[in-house]
Amino acid sequence: MLQLQVAATIMHVFAGRLAAKIARKDSLALKLALRPNRQELIARNIIHEESENERMENKEAIGARLIRYLFSGLLIMQSLCILNLQPQ
């Protein structure tokens, strides 16, 4: 009898989680359906129109900043390791 109650409770929790997951997907689909298209966003000055060259330049600049950030973090970690490994 106890096993049936536990199984029923597990099924109830699973059904609740599944219903919540479906509700989230429905909510996201509704929000995406109501979102204006790219041309409307450009017309309302929410986003600006950029050429393929501008897009590539922005992408490269972001990549360069990311590489510098990651490399500086790596250098700091290496410096800390060297300082901790030096004999006293």
84 or 49, greater pLDDT: 49
SS3 19: helix
The set of long-range contacts for 49-56, using a CB threshold of 8 Å and a minimum separation of 24, is none
pLDDT band at 22 (very low <50, low <70, confident <90, very high): confident
* pLDDT interval class at 77 (50, 70, 90): confident
pTM given for the model: 0.43
Helix, strand, coil percent values for the chain (each to nearest 5): 85, 0, 15
pLDDT reading at 87 higher than 60: no
Choice between 16 and 55, residue whose per-residue pLDDT is larger: 55
Confidence at residue 63, expressed as pLDDT on a 0 to 100 scale: 94
